[in-house]
């Protein structure tokens, strides 16, 4: 954990989850998923709290959390863009889509816009190969992308956020 997110989290928000799952063997992933749903990411103090409550070490909890790409350790923007980099998407132009996002928003993989509106995350596969190149923004899937289509989508989201 190279970065400190030194803001104190309200640890009581996860008490119900911990009470339900802490004594169930193999439930650490579930606890981490629910914690991320609550906080939007996994703050450092929450990781330590989960370790303490489950009888694990912080290293074990972090080991599990860092193994799975679904877990985040920094807040994400209002719109989480997951850009597929799988073979079909790569062959069909995902690099042009990534460049368009960078040109439009000024962010690369793993970064969030200064206004906190967008976060970009490159992913290995979204399982929508027939729609390639494809991206998901929050729960919405956008396929058969072109740079023009991406600019239109991003501008619509910017306008909707105002």
CA distances from 126 to 42, 70, 77, 133 (A): 23, 13, 20, 10
CA neighbor of 46 nearest in space, from 11, 3, 19, 6: 11
Pairing state of beta strands 135-137 and 118-123? unpaired
Q: Given pLDDT bands bounded at 50, 70 and 90, which one contains residue 1?
A: very low
Question: Is the pLDDT reported for residue 4 higher than 70?
Answer: no
Q: Given pLDDT bands bounded at 50, 70 and 90, which one contains residue 162?
A: confident
pLDDT tens for 58-82 read 999 999 999 987 898 988 999 999 9
- For the chain, what percent of residues have pLDDT higher than 90? 88
Question: For 78-87, what is the mean pLDDT?
Answer: 96
Which letter does DSSP use for residue 120 in this model?
Answer: E
């Amino acid at each position: 954990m190279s970065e400190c997110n030194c803001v104190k989290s309200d640890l009581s928000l996860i008490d119900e989850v911990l009470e339900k799952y802490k004594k169930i063997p193999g439930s650490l992933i579930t606890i981490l998923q629910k914690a991320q749903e609550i906080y939007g990411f996994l703050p450092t103090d929450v990781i330590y709290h989960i370790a303490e409550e489950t009888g694990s070490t912080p290293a074990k909890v972090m080991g599990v959390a860092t193994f799975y790409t679904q877990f985040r350790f920094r807040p994400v923007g209002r719109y989480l863009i997951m850009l597929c980099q799988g073979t079909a998407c790569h062959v069909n132009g995902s690099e042009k889509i990534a460049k368009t996002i960078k040109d439009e928003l000024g962010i690369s993989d793993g970064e969030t816009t200064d206004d906190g509106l967008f976060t970009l995350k490159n992913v290995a596969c979204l399982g929508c190969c027939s729609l390639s190149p494809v991206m998901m923004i929050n729960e919405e899937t956008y396929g058969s992308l072109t740079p023009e289509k991406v600019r239109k989508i991003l501008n619509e989201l910017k306008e909707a956020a105002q």
